Amino acid sequence: MELKVMKDLIKKNIVDFPELVLNNYYKLGLNETDAVIIIKLNYLLKSNEAYISTKKLAETLSISPQTTSKRLNSLIERGFIKLKLIKNGNGKQSETFNLDLLIERILKSDYEEKEVDKIEKNKTLEGKLVKLFEEEFKKPLSVLDIQTITKWLNEDKYTFDLIKDALFEAIRSRKLNIRYVDGILLKNEKNEVPKKYKKTTNIKDLKKIWE
């Protein structure tokens, strides 16, 4: 998800910002105090207060102004809070802040976590398939065979069931090799397109009957 989209969802209260922070702060190396400070800062932004007053912020926390200042500086240095100078109508500069960097890091962390989950899931499927093929072929698979199975899962996006069905079709034909299974998968994939078009045609024909 893009930063702009996430910010818009937060602004419209579709995504709850405090919940987003509380569900992700520990993944980013933040502690509970950091999380509460960030949530408080978001409340300031929602109230159109883009300037951080350490003294005012500390009054809403259970830590001293000195500790609050240290925590804020740490969050800025670690790239969770972005400070910038803007010119007002009088030409004077004033300091503002935003939490874009934090949101970006949460999005990145979420994406990386999903990618790891996907890889781990595919590894599990890969292991099951390798075991199944070796049992049915009654011999260990070669490195090339295993790479082909990995390709089926990661690049071709074949499901476990599709591969398993193709394997059993090959066994029925007494063709115990990966290349033959690959050919079955390709043939089945090509046959799917005409079927889809045929379904569309049938639906149109049915509509004609009722018209």
CB contact set of 50 (below 8 Å; sequence gap of 6+): 44, 96, 97, 98
pLDDT (0 to 100) of residue 193: 53
Structure-token pair, residue 133: 């093929």
Model confidence over 87-132: pLDDT tens digits? 776 777 778 888 999 999 998 888 778 777 777 777 788 899 999 9
Q: What φ, ψ does residue 63 adopt, rounded to 5°? A: -120, 160
Tokens 């059993």, located at residue: 168
Tokens 């408080």, located at residue: 40
Q: Residue 197: is its pLDDT beyond 70?
A: no
pLDDT (0 to 100) of residue 124: 87
Dihedral, 160, 164, 170, 176 alpha carbons, nearest 10: 90
Model confidence over 71-95: pLDDT tens digits? 999 999 999 999 888 777 677 777 8
Q: Residue 200: is its pLDDT beyond 50?
A: no
Domains for the chain: give ranges and CATH numbers. Answer: 3-98 (1.10.10.10), 115-210 (1.10.10.630)
3-state secondary structure of 98: strand
Distance CA 43, CA 70 (A): 20
Give the predicted TM-score (pTM) of the model. 0.55
